[in-house]
Structures are given as structure tokens and as C-alpha cells.
Chain A
Amino acid sequence: TKVLQKRSTNEAMVEVLSVTVDCTVTNRFAHTVMTSVALNKANTSKEIFFDVELPKSAFITNFSMEIEGKVYVGNVKEKEKAKKQYEKAVSSGQTAGLVKASGRKMEKFSVSVNIAAESNVTFILTYEELLQRKLGQYEILIRVKPKSLVEQFQISTNIYEPQGLSHVDAHATFLSNELLPLVEKTVLEKKAHISFSPTVEQQRKCPGCDGTLIDGDFIIKYDVNRQESVGDIQIVNGYFVHFFAPPDLPRVPKNVVFVIDRSGSMSGTKMAQTRDALVAILEDLHEDDHFALIQFDSAILSWKESLTKATKENVAEAKNYARSIRDNGATDINQAVLDGVEMLKRDRQANRLPERSVDMIILLTDGMPNSGVSDIRKIQENVRSAVGGNMSLFCLGFGNDVDYNFLDVMSKENKGLARRIFEASDATLQLQDFYEEVASPLLLEVDLVYPDNAVDYVTTSHFPQLFNGSEIVVAGRLTDNDLDNFLVEVLGQGFEDNYKVQGQASVFDWNVMYPDETYIFGDFTERLWAYLTIQQLLEKSKTGTADEKANATAKALEMSLQYSFVTPLTSMVVTKPETEDGTDSPLIADKLTEEQRQQAERLRPMAYSRGASHFIPAPVQYAPSPVYLVDGD
């Protein structure tokens, strides 16, 4: 209670004059600027806080503070060099690290500065991200928590998609019936504007009180019109970006082996959620698919010796089997995955699987291997060698105890990807959602081919699969800036035939399409290319030989510095104005890796003093305030 009183006194002396969030999206590349202006009304100096949350897929590109007419700007530096600069601050007990994990999707950036009496401060944070198409749409997530009423509050988003917008939806977790009409949405063929700007009275939680209703996520979801043949290619200022997700492709049947960890640590909620998810996933299997179930602890137990066609009868039988899975024993990931690989290979050789179909393994596990082969490098090697590039491995890491990095590398080495499943009451849905993302392959071994003499520095252009609802993005630099068009080819393996299309990419005239707004776009396409290249280099720095890893890291660092992106290899340093003892104290903005986020979650204080963490999943979260309820069973 004392803390609350102190905060409220402090807040009364600090007035937040404005909070604005300005987001511009061009060709899925989102550039967001968050600005906050606060005034210290007290007659003594006060510490003023700036806390914002940004998507974890975003890179901070700029941060500045304006105090008494002087602007303090952030500089992106190599992490090691930045460390030296703030070592002094750390040793004197000051907090130097500013970015922290915040939930599943966000990172929190916090700054505090001392502001003189009756002065104001302006904080400006800029971040950028490439929106990913998932389950048929892109999502812009803006988290706003102003904590108090704000004189001028505005969220403004402009979306420019030359392909044309097929739909745009906007909603917020804090929208009441009164606030709903304040969301203004204007959607034209190729651009959309969404804004939300409640007055102080409209923000108020109740008449006369200081609490604000504005607390939560403002979410915009949209999709673009899908282009036939080669997809959509934009050439702007010497860089090109190619989006490929053609409509109406038939799905390719899949052969999927579910490898399910049922070791002791899965006991309780995790096991129950796994059973529920499996039952739902099995129900969603297409009749053309083949599937197998392997459960493992220290022993490996297959439902059947080979893959089974997903007929209604077989699925019903499998669902009963899935319901019977119980936790028990230790964890032998190595043998379980190898058995899954072996089963797929055996069935392929015996021609029991359709010739044109995709083979995949979905591994669900919550912990470190501690039975059979437990050296993770050896497991990765065994799996890579067994798979031999012939199937995809998708790994789902359940909870905070799992070594995510181990699964991440193993998936990437085998044409798949890893995903964390957060322990919470919606874990069943997380598992289902992941399955849905990879459930419908449309094309296999997709190659996007560009003329060698016209482009260079092209991002990854080979993809093992294209899934329904997703999108392939490739960007590159044109070697000839005067080039007006070039030939593009897309090759892949479809359901019945090989897929092969050709098309011509033309320079896009933004002046014609958006005559009033061309100044906005600037170097968007170049930055999109840089963002994508850095992301892929960071991925490459985890796999391959030592030399390959070092080269990828060095290149990613160089580009992060060149384009001023705060990535896991760089830090942004802002030197705060002198403190009362006459010393400058640097502020540091970092980028977390998935492992660091996981570590932070492990360290989060829990509601018990000792015991096994896997017994305590997080409760359902609807609203930040507590709920007290009574209901029937």
C-alpha cells in the first residue's frame, strides 16, 4: 500500500501530455514511432519513466530524448563495445539493461530520466519489423499502457499494399462499447488508415476517477489480394522484394509422424493438454494424409508399426489411443525421433505412401534428454544423418525447462522449424495453431530464380515448403540501378505436377500509385531487404560449421551497424544527462534471443516457495485486474 501511495503522489506531479503511436506499413514492412511527452509539474526534480512494449520480432532502430531543448540520440554499437561503456554504470549499481521479455510476443523497453522542476521531456522510440503472414493474414500489434490519462492520445496506422487489400480488421483488448466507435477505419483499394484517438474523458475508467481504460493490445489484421503465377515483385530505389503465395493451389498430402514425450516431467496439465491437442489435431487430418503416433519416455512405443491412412475409422481409433497416453519415466528423444524417421523411410521404400506427398515429423517435448543418447550434439548429428534431407522435422518445446536452442537447431538442420509452447491454459490451442500452420503444404522444394547478371545479395531463395496461409519473401539488390524489368521464375513440386511459372518484374512507380505520399516510403524496400538478410544471417549463425557460423555472425553484425538495427549482436547506447553526482550514465537497449527470454521467464517469481515448476501453469489471463468469481461446476 505504501508503494502505491508513493507512486500516486509522484504521478500526480508528472503529467503525461501526449502519447502517440504512428505506424506506417509498406509492403508488409512496418515502421513504428512511439512518442511520449511528459511534464514535471513539481517544484523539485523528478524521475520520469518511459515504458513501452514492442513485438519481439521487431528491431529497435532509434531512440531519443529531448530535455530542455537538448536532444540525446541513441547510437547502435557492437554489443561488446557497448558493454565496456556501461560496465561502469553496472559496477556502480545502476541498471543498464533496458529491454526485458514481456510475455510471449513482446519485449519491454524502459527508460527513466531525472527531469528538472517544471520541465518536460520527449521520448521517441522507433522500431521496424517485417510482418509475417500466418494463417492467411498479417498482424500489427501495438501495446499501449499509458498508466494515466493523457491529454493527447493517438494511435495512427497507415497501410500501403500495392497488391490491394483483401480485408482489414482492427480491434483492441480494452475496447468497450463506448470506445468502439472511436476506432476510425478507412480502407481503399491499396491503402488503409486506422486511427484511435480518445479524449481524456473517453479514456477515463469512471466519471471523476483518474484510472484509464486504455490498457492492452491494439491489433490490426489484414491480408492482400493474392497474385496468380509468380506473385508480386516490387522494385524500388535499386532494391527488389518478391512476395510469393499464389491462391488456389491444391494441398499436397502429408505423411506425419507425431513423436510425443510422455516422460514424468510432462505429468499434470502438460500431459492433459497434449492429449487434448492430439485428439483435435487428429480430427483435422485430411483423408489423403497418412499418420503415425509414437510416444516415448525411456522406452519407445508405437501405436502401429507403420503409417496409417487417415480414414475416419483409423482416426477414431487413434484418438482413443491418444487419450490413453500417460506420463511415465525418463526422456529418450534420440531413439524416439530415429524410430519416427525409420518408420517413414520404411514405408516409403515399401511404396505404402503416395509418391507425391510430404514427409514430416512433429516432435513434442518438454525437457532435456536424459535416457539413451543424452548428448544434444550427438542427437542433432544422428537425426541429421538419419533424415538425410528427405523429410522435415518440426519441434515443439513445451514449457521453460526445455532447451529451446537444441530443438531450434535440430529443426533448422532438417528443413523444419521450432516453436515454444508456453505453459498456460491455452497450450492446447497453441499446439493446434502450430499444427494448422504446417498442416497444408502446397508446394515442396520451392526455388525462386532471378537473373544472375541483374541482382545480387539476394536473401534465401530456396524453401523446402510453402504452406497454406503463409508467404515466401525474397529480397535483393539490383546490380544495375537503371534496370526497368527482369525475368523471374518460380519452380516447385505441386500436388500433381511440377510447378513452373515465369514472369516479368517491373519498376513500380510509387508516384503514380500514391501521388500524395511518396515521401513516406524512402528506403523502405532497402531496409526490408536488410532486415530479412540480418534475420537469416542470425539463423545461419546457429547452424553449420564453425567458419560458417563466424562468417554469418560477422556479416549480421556489420549490417546491423550499417542499418542501425538493435539485434542480438548490437546495443543502442544513449547517454543520459548528468546525474546529481556529476556523472553521465549510459542507457542501453538490447535485443533478446529466445533463450534469454526463456531464461527470464524461469527467473520470474512464482507463487510458491519450492517445488516442481511444471506443476504450476500460469492462470488464464483476461484482464490485468483480478477477477473474483463464483460459479457452478
Chain B
Amino acid sequence: PHFIIELPGRNDSLCFNINNAPGTIFNLVRDPEAGVFVNGQIIGDKKIPPDGKINTYFWRFGIVHQTLGVSLLVTTQYISVSQDGKDAKLLWTDTGSLKGPNVDVVVTKDGSLTVTLKDSVKFVILLHKVWKKHPYHRDYLGFYTLDTHLLSPSVHGLLGQFYHGIEYEVTDLRPGESPEKPDATMFAKGHQLNVTRGWQRDFRRDVKNGDNVPCWFIHNNGSGLIDGAAADYVVSSLF
């Protein structure tokens, strides 16, 4: 899966890929102070494609708000919401909504899920439907955090560590391997990184084709941009 960190204040975006063995669960957001945790599990293609490149995508997310007593399990099939011991299940095949004292959930049929957790965070999960008989690919999910301003300063995780901004500088723009994608040097978090200008897709407006977001691409699983290594974010379970 690809990560995009949009920085409208700088009129720019950063992006990187994180890949690992299918089945791996990554921590995306971790805010013990606010009690918010988001973990996601990746899945691989049905079989190894002819080019030998194994694609991985997120297919399940576990979301917990400890303080509010809310948890959600979002898979490519259904959405399960649990609050104070009461469970509710929604299917992607129907448009529906749930309005609780602490959580609002809105599902549009085979499209998107919007979750608003009271006084903390708002996010959207997109369902990418793939033709059932596709020889390699299968359905997968995208996770978009829209409003994070109420999370604590200590929020972390693969996405969470960027919620309060990031300082970086880009210099030494030079031709890259592809004429359309120049390379440059980025200084971020005390590291000097070789980055490439590229594009990644934001699917919120057009779930089929996406919109190209120009961004600085950080190689090697975001090494140097993310704190530590991707392996540091592997957790044992969704909850």
C-alpha cells in the first residue's frame, strides 16, 4: 500500500510505500492519551503475478476508542461496530448509517465508510471492488484521516506520527531515472534522503481512477521519513 501525507500549508505532499508479508498487521494510529488505536492488516494477491511482484493491500482495519468504549472492525465484506457491549453490523452492499452517542457511521453502498468518533477523529475508508474472477487481485480498502486536530501531541503510528506536521527541506533537484521524475535530496528528521518526484493516487473523488497527487516519494519503505523502521510498527492483532 502507498501512504500520502498531504501538506496543504506547504502546497506539497510526501509519499512512500510500505510492504511486508501478506497477513502482517501494521499500527497506523496510536494515541494512548486519547485512547485511539487504528491497526490494519495487509493481504496479497490470489497468486503470484507473472512479473513476480507481489502486491499487498489493506483488507481489514481494527479501530478502537478506549475512552468512548467504541470499536470497529472494517473488512472488505462488512463493518462491525461495537459500543458498550452492543454490536451492530453493516454490509458494504447496502447504504446505511448508525448514529450513536459517541460514534457516527455512514456507509455508501460499495463505496465509502465515514466514521466520526466524538471529539477525536474523523476518517473515511474506501472499498475498492475488484472483479471477482480477477486471476490475481482482490477487494481492498483505503484509509483516509480527515480531521485529527483533537488527537494528543503524542499520537504516533505509521500515519499518526505526521498528524502534527513535519519539517523538511528539499534541495538539489536533478534528473532522475525517468525524465518525468526528477530526483532530489530531502532533509527530514535529521536524515539526508534521496527522494524522487512522483505521483500517487487519492481515490476519494474518483474511486475507480483516483486523482494524481504530485508528491516527493521516499524510497525503501519510507526509511528515514518514518520514525524507526516499518518493522517497528508490526503488531500482533487488530485490537
User: Which chain A residues have a beta carbon within 8 Å of chain B's beta carbons?
Assistant: 177, 205-209, 211, 267-269, 271-272, 327, 425-426, 604, 606-612, 615-633
- B contacts with A: majority SS: strand
Over the window 125-163 of chain B, the binary record of Cβ atoms lying under 8 Å from chain A Cβ atoms (1 yes, 0 no) is 010100000000000111111111110000000110011
A618, B11: Cβ atoms under 8 Å?
yes
Q: What residues on B are CB-neighbors of A617 within 8 Å?
A: 214
Complex alpha-carbon distance, A606 and B197, angstroms = 14
User: Chain A residue with minimal CB distance to B26?
Assistant: A630
B79 contacts chain A at the CB level, 8 A cutoff: no
Q: What residues on B are CB-neighbors of A206 within 8 Å?
A: 118-119, 150
Q: What residues on B are CB-neighbors of A426 within 8 Å?
A: 211
A630, B40: Cβ atoms under 8 Å?
yes
A628, B173: Cβ atoms under 8 Å?
no
B219 contacts chain A at the CB level, 8 A cutoff: no
Name the 10 nearest CB pairs between A and B, nearest first: A611-B173, A631-B142, A607-B12, A632-B57, A608-B170, A629-B144, A607-B10, A632-B140, A627-B6, A628-B145
Comparing B64-72, B82-90, B176-184, B223-231, the segment that makes contact with chain A is B176-184
Q: How far is the CB of B23 from chain A (nearest CB, A)?
A: 16
Q: What residues on B are CB-neighbors of A626 within 8 Å?
A: 5-9, 165
Pairs across A and B, CB under 8 Å, 19 listed: A268-B182, A609-B171, A610-B173, A615-B173, A619-B8, A619-B12, A620-B202, A623-B146, A625-B149, A627-B145, A627-B202, A629-B4, A629-B142, A630-B40, A630-B58, A630-B158, A631-B144, A631-B203, A632-B142
Q: What residues on A are CB-neighbors of B118 within 8 Å?
A: 206-207
Q: How far is the CB of B120 from chain A (nearest CB, A)?
A: 9
Complex alpha-carbon distance, A281 and B8, angstroms = 31
Complex alpha-carbon distance, A616 and B197, angstroms = 8
Q: What residues on A are CB-neighbors of B145 within 8 Å?
A: 627-629
Cross-chain contact of A625 among B143, B146, B171, B173 (Cβ < 8 A): B146
Complex alpha-carbon distance, A435 and B149, angstroms = 42
Are A630 and B28 CB-contacts (below 8 A) given A625-B146, A625-B147?
A: yes
User: Chain B residue with minimal CB distance to A208?
Assistant: B119
Q: How far is the CB of B22 from chain A (nearest CB, A)?
A: 13
Q: How far is the CB of B100 from chain A (nearest CB, A)?
A: 14
Query: Using a CB-CB cutoff of 8 Å, which residues 74-117 of chain B contact chain A?
Result: 106
Over the window 9-37 of chain B, the binary record of Cβ atoms lying under 8 Å from chain A Cβ atoms (1 yes, 0 no) is 11111000010000000001000000000
User: Chain B residue with minimal CB distance to A271?
Assistant: B180
B171, A619: Cβ atoms under 8 Å?
no
Q: How far is the CB of B172 from chain A (nearest CB, A)?
A: 8
User: Chain A residue with minimal CB distance to B186?
Assistant: A608
B179, A327: Cβ atoms under 8 Å?
yes
Q: What residues on A are CB-neighbors of B143 within 8 Å?
A: 629-631
Are A628 and B6 CB-contacts (below 8 A) given A611-B173, A623-B146?
A: yes
Complex alpha-carbon distance, A205 and B203, angstroms = 25
Complex alpha-carbon distance, A630 and B6, angstroms = 11
Q: How many residues of B contact A (CB 8 A)?
A: 63
Q: What residues on B are CB-neighbors of A177 within 8 Å?
A: 106
Are A628 and B179 CB-contacts (below 8 A) given A610-B171, A615-B197?
A: no
Complex alpha-carbon distance, A609 and B144, angstroms = 29
B55, A630: Cβ atoms under 8 Å?
no
Complex alpha-carbon distance, A604 and B197, angstroms = 20
Q: What residues on B are CB-neighbors of A268 within 8 Å?
A: 179-182, 197
Complex alpha-carbon distance, A574 and B149, angstroms = 39
Q: How far is the CB of B53 from chain A (nearest CB, A)?
A: 11
B180, A609: Cβ atoms under 8 Å?
no
Q: How far is the CB of A174 from chain B (nearest CB, A)?
A: 13
Complex alpha-carbon distance, A527 and B212, angstroms = 44
A631, B6: Cβ atoms under 8 Å?
no
Cross-chain contact of B11 among A607, A610, A630, A631 (Cβ < 8 A): A607
Complex alpha-carbon distance, A272 and B7, angstroms = 24
Cross-chain contact of A607 among B3, B57, B170, B210 (Cβ < 8 A): B170
B1, A628: Cβ atoms under 8 Å?
no
User: Chain B residue with minimal CB distance to A273?
Assistant: B212
User: Chain B residue with minimal CB distance to A621?
Assistant: B8
Q: What residues on B are CB-neighbors of A604 within 8 Å?
A: 11
User: Chain B residue with minimal CB distance to A627?
Assistant: B6
User: Chain B residue with minimal CB distance to A617?
Assistant: B214
A267, B213: Cβ atoms under 8 Å?
no
Cross-chain contact of B211 among A211, A612, A620 (Cβ < 8 A): A620
Complex alpha-carbon distance, A617 and B215, angstroms = 9
Q: What residues on B are CB-neighbors of A606 within 8 Å?
A: 11-12
Complex alpha-carbon distance, A205 and B5, angstroms = 23
User: Chain A residue with minimal CB distance to B145?
Assistant: A628
Q: How far is the CB of B21 from chain A (nearest CB, A)?
A: 16
Q: What residues on A are CB-neighbors of B181 within 8 Å?
A: 268
A267, B179: Cβ atoms under 8 Å?
yes
Complex alpha-carbon distance, A444 and B210, angstroms = 40
Q: How far is the CB of A2 from chain B (nearest CB, A)?
A: 14
A632, B1: Cβ atoms under 8 Å?
yes
User: Chain A residue with minimal CB distance to B199?
Assistant: A269
B4, A272: Cβ atoms under 8 Å?
no
Q: How far is the CB of B138 from chain A (nearest CB, A)?
A: 10
B205 contacts chain A at the CB level, 8 A cutoff: yes
A425, B1: Cβ atoms under 8 Å?
no
A629, B8: Cβ atoms under 8 Å?
no
A630, B159: Cβ atoms under 8 Å?
yes
Complex alpha-carbon distance, A425 and B6, angstroms = 14
Complex alpha-carbon distance, A582 and B165, angstroms = 43
B8, A624: Cβ atoms under 8 Å?
yes
User: Chain B residue with minimal CB distance to A606?
Assistant: B11
Q: What residues on A are CB-neighbors of B142 within 8 Å?
A: 629-632
B11, A633: Cβ atoms under 8 Å?
no
Q: What residues on B are CB-neighbors of A624 within 8 Å?
A: 8
Q: What residues on A are CB-neighbors of B201 within 8 Å?
A: 631, 633
Q: What residues on B are CB-neighbors of A618 within 8 Å?
A: 11, 214
Complex alpha-carbon distance, A581 and B146, angstroms = 46
B158, A269: Cβ atoms under 8 Å?
no
Q: What residues on A are CB-neighbors of B205 within 8 Å?
A: 622
Q: What residues on B are CB-neighbors of A205 within 8 Å?
A: 147
Complex alpha-carbon distance, A631 and B55, angstroms = 12
Beyond A611-B172, A628-B4, 9 additional pairs, beta carbon < 8 A: A608-B170, A612-B182, A616-B12, A618-B11, A620-B213, A627-B202, A629-B142, A632-B2, A632-B141
Complex alpha-carbon distance, A631 and B4, angstroms = 9
B171, A628: Cβ atoms under 8 Å?
no
User: Chain B residue with minimal CB distance to A328?
Assistant: B179
Complex alpha-carbon distance, A604 and B11, angstroms = 10
Q: How far is the CB of A12 from chain B (nearest CB, A)?
A: 17
Q: From A617, A622, A629, name the one whose CB has the most chain B CB atoms within 10 angstroms.
A: A629
B173, A630: Cβ atoms under 8 Å?
no
Complex alpha-carbon distance, A629 and B169, angstroms = 22
